[in-house]
Structure 1
Amino acid sequence: MRFRHPDGSTVHLAYCTNVHPAEDLEGVRRQLREHCEPVRRRLGRDRLGIGLWLARDAARALVADPAALRSLRAELDARGLEVVTLNGFPYQGFGAERVKYRVYRPDWTEPERLDHTTDLARLLAGLLPDDEPEGTISTLPLAWRTGYDDTAAATARKALTALAQRLDALQDLTGRSIRVGLEPEPGCTVATTADAAAALTGPGSPPADRIGVCVDTCHLATEFEDPATALDGLAAAGIPVVKAQLSAALHAEHPGSDAERAALAAFVEPRFLHQTRTRVPDGRVLGSDDLDEALAGSAVPTAATGATAPDPAAAGAAGLDAGGLAAAAAPPSDPASAAATAPDRPLTPTPSAAPAAPAGPDGAADPAGTALPTGAPWRVHLHVPLHAPLLPPLTSTLPVLQDTLTRLVGGARPLTRHLEVETYTWQALPAELRPRTRAQLADGIAAELGLVRDLLTALGLKELP
């Protein structure tokens, strides 16, 4: 969907196809046929933007076969679909029964991440509409926080600088400009927009005209970031908002009440990681790496970020269930293969100058008496439907999305031109909220896009044919 901003520029709205995870090219074609085109028809549009997710195997197949890429482009056109942005965060296995920490591998310290993102940039240059000279890609925020040290930071910066150089060469070759945005996420090395500004400035930083930030409004809300402060901070640091993902987190106003704890428990599920945060009266944000741990009271503060990690004994017991990663048979050098045969990434805190939590006899933080506080609201990293009421008395952080969207595109000029609805957890929702058929899922996605369309037109943008 395209909108004309009052300044005359075009703002694109899409929805992300990681809600229909497909590992290979045939799966991608099937999602266009069975999901994306039906959503477009429900909206009564001749053209619909999709934020395409291409898993490693699908991307490699397209890079290896230019004819297949041309065929995919032709199919997009025939189905009334267009692509100006890709979701490059998950590498593969996003449809597995258990994803959790594995979504962060390979990270930006591993060469596979640079190679995959380079492949995505090449493909996006070939998929962009003829009248659109710029594409964007969102990527993971460097790495999960544990085990990330100065050496890892230097390696990641070097990889991002190499990516920027490759993007320059790609523009020289194709005339298409591709930019990449780190997507801050709770629990990661880059958890907030302030972390992103720190990571992308200073000596050795990649050029800002290529590498910026993807603002995800669920992640922003989960970390209790104020949209105005966050966006002003990025602007002051000279970091562009490459794209924005429009999503809402789960909000519990009184997490200590029996009713809200019971409602929260209904959202506990084994597939995705649901980081949980609360802001205490002194302004610190504390939390747990997963909702079930927060409800069980097993969270302890980390020394690195003021977030929390689970009881070390529970972390050590975490392992791979039958879901695994789809590419478990990949060569041993493939980090995804290693992730499929090893426990979830360990959760030991990273040293920093911040005060450390009390240490137990084994050097791990002592979990005694450090359960997540319940005297202030909790927010949960769980992308809930934008348009639908949740299980009472829980609500969503839709107001944070609205505030962020106003600041992104409601001013004299848009801070970003690429917007992407990203509710990928439909099938992980409680049974009462979960769509039972493809038709119901298409109805829900169309309703989300319709809500955002109304927000945009209320801000003065004009929907284009």
Structure 2
Amino acid sequence: MRITHRSGRALHLSYCTNVHPAEDLPGIVTQLDAFARPVRERLGADVLGLGLWLAAPAAAELAADPRARRRLRAELDARGLEVVTLNGFPYAAFQAPVVKHAVYHPDWTTEARLKYTLDLARVLDDLLPDDAVRGSISTLPLAWRDPWQPEQRDAAARNLERLAAGLTPFPRVRVGFEPEPGCIVETTTQATDLLQAVDTDRLGICLDLAHLACAWEEPAEALQRLENAGIPVVKVQVSAALEVTDPVVAGGVLRQYAEPRFLHQTRSASGPAADDLDQALAAGLPGPWRIHFHVPLHVAPAPPLTSTTPVLEAALRNLMAADEPWCDHLDVETYTWDVLPAGRRPAGPAELADGIAGELAYTRDLLEKLS
């Protein structure tokens, strides 16, 4: 969907398809019919934006075959769908039974990560609507924090230089590194320290609003920090994390969210941290907590849990407040629908489409109010 900012600039609102498991091209086209087109119809939108996730094998296949890229573009057009942004963080198997730390591999010290991202750039360059000013690709914030020795740092720095050079044939495409709890770049402060030497014409930040909240960062301060460092926000992932004031009182409800597929980094306002929710519960970290569990934007969690939607809303207010918006790519990324507690997860494709449409409607209405 497109929303017009008061500046006249188009804001591209999409939902991220990493919520779906398909990893080959026939499966991706099938899920367009199962989910994306129904979501568009529920919203009454002429065109729906997708934050498309392509696993590495599918990206490589498309990058090697211009005809395949044209076919995918035609499949999107036929269903009233458009793509201005790709999610290049998960490399493959993102909806496997257990993901956890595997999502951070291969990292930016490797040739595989560089090739995957440049494959995505080639694909996106052909998928972009003709009138789109730019395209964006989100990627992981270099690596998980351990190991990170001088040799890893130097290898990553070389690959970022090669990435910027490799993007030269695709002048409309930018790549955003996505700060995430537990990674080398976890906060905007670390982003300004570690990314200020990159080519900011082509590289910048993907600001995930759940991650921002889990770092207990204030949106206005974080955005000002990035602006002062000259690091652009090339993409915003509109997401919300779990929050709990008293984890002891909420322990029974919290345990329903300690599931085996994804890593749920937990951060206390006073500083203590755990790399997963079950570890935080066992350690008895002092509250309040924010937990890296992306929850639906438009539905409150079961009491006494809440979500970080106030941080999301504050961030969007700041992003839209200037005469020109800070960023025009906004991708709703709730990939955890299938691991929500029993009774809160969708019963089938129709209910998942309902949930995604509800999140997009919530975000659309908020952006229209702020624009």
User: TM-score, normalising length from structure 2?
Assistant: 0.98
Q: Partner residue of 1:191?
A: 186
Shift of residue 64, structure 1, vs aligned partner: 2.2
Q: Distance in 2 between matches of 1:85 and 1:63?
A: 16
Q: Partner residue of 2:263?
A: 273
Shift of residue 411, structure 1, vs aligned partner: 2.1
Shift of residue 8, structure 1, vs aligned partner: 1.4
Q: Partner residue of 1:14?
A: 14
Q: Distance in 1 between matches of 2:313 and 2:195?
A: 27
For residues 253-268 of structure 1, the aligned pairs below 5 Å read 253-257=245-249, 260-268=250-258
Gaps of 5+ in 2: none
For residues 199-238 of structure 1, the aligned pairs below 5 Å read 199-201=194-196, 205-238=197-230
- The one-letter amino acid paired with 2:82 is E
Secondary structure of the corresponding residue to residue 170 of structure 1: coil
2:282 matches 1:287? no
Specify which of 351, 356, 359 is matched with residue 448 of structure 1: 359
- The one-letter amino acid paired with 1:144 is W
Secondary structure of the corresponding residue to residue 384 of structure 1: coil
- The one-letter amino acid paired with 1:154 is D
Shift of residue 122, structure 1, vs aligned partner: 0.4
Matched residues, number: 371
Deviation track 1:136-180 (CA, whole Å, cap 9, x = no partner) reads 000000000011122211211111111111111333xxxxx1000
Q: Partner residue of 1:120?
A: 120
Q: Distance in 2 between matches of 1:229 and 1:436?
A: 40
Shift of residue 422, structure 1, vs aligned partner: 0.2
Larger radius of gyration: 1
2:177 matches 1:182? yes
Q: Distance in 2 between matches of 1:170 and 1:420?
A: 21
Q: Partner residue of 1:111?
A: 111
2:339 matches 1:425? no
Moved more, 119-128 or 144-153: 144-153
2:145 matches 1:145? yes
Shift of residue 286, structure 1, vs aligned partner: 2.0
Deviation track 1:48-89 (CA, whole Å, cap 9, x = no partner) reads 000000001111111222111101000100000000000000
Q: Partner residue of 1:49?
A: 49
For residues 46-445 of structure 1, the aligned pairs below 5 Å read 46-171=46-171, 177-201=172-196, 205-257=197-249, 260-280=250-270, 285-297=271-283, 371-372=284-285, 374=286, 376-445=287-356
Secondary structure of the corresponding residue to residue 68 of structure 2: helix
Shift of residue 405, structure 1, vs aligned partner: 0.6
- The one-letter amino acid paired with 1:427 is D
Secondary structure of the corresponding residue to residue 319 of structure 2: helix
Q: Distance in 1 between matches of 2:272 and 2:316?
A: 26
Q: Distance in 2 between matches of 1:131 and 1:228?
A: 31
- The one-letter amino acid paired with 1:145 is R
Deviation track 1:8-49 (CA, whole Å, cap 9, x = no partner) reads 111110000000122111111111111111100000111000
- The one-letter amino acid paired with 2:290 is R
Q: Distance in 1 between matches of 2:127 and 2:188?
A: 30
Q: Partner residue of 1:27?
A: 27
Q: CA RMSD in A?
A: 0.9
Secondary structure of the corresponding residue to residue 144 of structure 1: coil
Q: Distance in 2 between matches of 1:36 and 1:410?
A: 30
Q: Distance in 2 between matches of 1:30 and 1:294?
A: 39
- The one-letter amino acid paired with 1:54 is L
Shift of residue 133, structure 1, vs aligned partner: 3.4
Shift of residue 95, structure 1, vs aligned partner: 1.4
Secondary structure of the corresponding residue to residue 22 of structure 2: coil
Q: Distance in 2 between matches of 1:121 and 1:386?
A: 29
Gaps of 5+ in 1: 172-176, 298-370
Deviation track 1:199-246 (CA, whole Å, cap 9, x = no partner) reads 112xxx321111100000000001111101111100000000010000
Secondary structure of the corresponding residue to residue 181 of structure 1: strand
Q: Distance in 2 between matches of 1:170 and 1:6?
A: 29
- The one-letter amino acid paired with 1:278 is S
